[in-house]
Amino acid sequence: MKKLAIVAFVCLALDALQAQQLFPPKLVKTTGTAEVKVTPDRAVIQVGVERQSATAKGAKAAADSTSRKLLAALKAQGADDKDIQTAYLDLQPTSYYQKQVRINNFTATQSLSVTIRDLSKLDSVMDAVMSAGANRIDGIEYQSSELRKYRDQARAEAVKAAKEKAVALAQALGDQIGKTYSIEEVQQSNGYQTFGLAANAVISAGVPPPPPSTAPGQLTVSASVMVSFDLI
Per-residue pLDDT tens for 74-113? 999 999 999 999 999 999 999 888 888 888 999 999 999 9
- Phi and psi at residue 28, to the nearest 5°: -125, 125
Per-residue pLDDT tens for 158-208? 999 999 999 999 999 999 999 999 999 998 755 555 444 333 333 333 444
Instruction: Identify the pLDDT of residue 118.
Output: 95
137/155 same-domain check:
no
Instruction: Identify the pLDDT of residue 70.
Output: 97
Residue 10 has pLDDT above 60, yes or no: no
CATH of residue 162: 3.30.110.170
110/167 same-domain check:
no
CATH of residue 55: 3.30.70.2970
pTM for the structure as a whole: 0.70
Helix (H, G, I), strand (E, B) or coil at 154: helix
162/93 same-domain check:
no
Q: Is residue 100 part of a domain?
A: yes
Residue 130 has pLDDT above 60, yes or no: yes
Cα dist. 135→69, 85, 162, 167, 212 in Å?
13, 18, 50, 58, 20
Q: To which H or E segment does residue 33 belong?
A: strand 27-38
Instruction: Identify the pLDDT of residue 207.
Output: 42
Domain encompassing residue 175: 23-39+146-191+215-232
52/133 same-domain check:
yes
Residue 145 has pLDDT above 60, yes or no: yes
**Cα–Cα distance between 61 and 67 in angstroms, integer?**
10
The strand pair at 84-98 and 193-195 is best described as unpaired
**Cα–Cα distance between 17 and 19 in angstroms, integer?**
5
Instruction: Identify the pLDDT of residue 111.
Output: 96
Please give the tally of structural domains in the chain.
Answer: 2
Q: Is residue 6 part of a domain?
A: no
Over residues 123-138, mean pLDDT: 94
Over residues 30-53, mean pLDDT: 96
Angle at the Cα of 188 from the Cα atoms of 137 and 26, rounded to 5 degrees: 175
Per-residue pLDDT tens for 60-70? 999 999 999 99
